[in-house]
C-alpha cells in the first residue's frame, strides 16, 4: 500500500497526539512473506519501545502476518479497516483477469485467498468494517453476493481473533477519509474499545 492513501487518517491520529509513521510495502512486486519481513525491518528501524498499528485492507492481513513474527517491539493495540481476514471474494474473481492477476498474485497466497491461519495472539485487535450501497470495484464483477463496502464483504472482516468489530456506513476507500472512522480508531487505540 502507498502511504499517501493514509494521509487523512494519519493527520487525525497526529491531532490525537499519536506519533505516526507510515510504512509502505510493494504488494504487487513481492509476496506476503517478503513484504512482512520488509515491514518488520522498517518497524525495527524506528527503534520504538512500543507501538500501535492501524492498517487498511490488505495491510490488515500483512499486520496479522507481522504479529506472528518474533522480535517485534511491544504492540499495544491494532485497528484494522476493511481487512478481508477470511479471504477476498473480489480478489478471487479478479484472478481470472490477466492484468489484475499480475497485480494480485503475490498477495493471494496466505493472504487474500484466506489460507492464512492466524495464531492465537495476545493483542487487542479491533476491526472497523464498512457497508455501503455506493459503487465499488464489486460492480466490475457483476456485484457482490452479500453486504459489503463495495469491495470487501462484511463477513470477510469478521474473525474470532478480534476483540471488537464495528460497522460504519462507508465504502472501502471512504474508511480512510472519515472523521467518524478516525474517532473510532483513536478510541480503540486509547481504551481498547470503540465505545
Please write the tens of the pLDDT for every residue from 14-55. 999 999 998 877 666 777 888 889 899 999 999 998 899 999
pLDDT tens sequence across 98-144: 776 666 666 666 677 777 777 777 899 999 999 998 778 888 788 89
- Cβ(51)–Cβ(76) below 8 Å: yes
Q: What is the pLDDT of residue 106?
A: 60
Residue 195 belongs to a domain: no
Query: Does residue 82 carry a pLDDT above 70?
Result: yes
Nine cell digits for residue 146: 452479500
d(C-alpha 178, C-alpha 93), whole Å: 28
Q: Is residue 16 part of a domain?
A: yes
Structurally, the chain folds into a number of domains equal to: 1
CA distances from 164 to 34, 53, 124, 159 (A): 29, 15, 8, 10
pTM: 0.91
- Report the CATH number that the domain containing residue 141 is assigned in CATH: 3.40.50.1820
Q: Are strands 50-56 and 74-81 parallel, antiparallel or unpaired?
A: parallel
Query: What range does the domain containing 160 cover?
Result: 3-190
CB neighbour class for 70 (10 Å; exposed up to 12, middle 13-18, buried from 19): exposed
Amino acid at each position: 500500500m502507498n502511504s499517501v492513501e493514509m494521509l487523512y487518517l494519519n493527520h487525525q491520529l497526529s491531532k490525537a497526539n499519536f506519533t505516526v509513521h507510515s510504512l509502505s510495502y510493494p504488494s504487487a512486486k513481492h509476496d506476503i512473506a517478503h513484504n512482512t519481513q520488509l515491514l518488520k525491518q522498517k518497524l525495527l528501524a524506528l527503534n520504538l519501545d512500543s507501538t500501535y498499528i492501524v492498517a487498511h485492507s490488505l495491510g490488515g492481513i500483512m499486520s496479522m502476518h507481522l504479529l506472528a513474527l518474533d522480535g517485534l517491539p511491544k504492540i499495544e493495540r491494532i485497528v484494522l479497516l476493511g481487512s478481508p481476514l477470511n479471504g477476498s471474494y473480489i480478489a478471487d474473481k479478479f484472478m481470472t483477469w490477466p492484468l489484475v492477476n499480475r497485480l494480485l498474485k503475490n498477495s493471494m497466497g496466505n493472504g487474500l485467498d484466506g489460507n492464512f491461519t492466524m495464531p492465537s495472539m495476545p493483542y487487542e485487535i479491533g476491526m472497523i468494517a464498512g457497508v455501503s450501497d455506493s459503487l465499488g470495484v464489486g460492480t466490475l464483477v457483476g456485484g457482490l453476493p452479500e453486504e459489503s463496502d463495495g469491495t470487501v464483504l462484511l463477513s470477510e472482516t469478521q474473525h474470532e481473533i478480534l476483540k471488537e468489530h464495528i460497522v460504519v456506513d462507508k465504502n472501502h476507500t471512504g474508511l480512510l477519509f472519515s472523521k467518524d472512522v478516525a474517532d473510532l480508531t483513536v478510541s480503540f487505540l486509547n481504551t481498547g474499545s470503540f465505545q
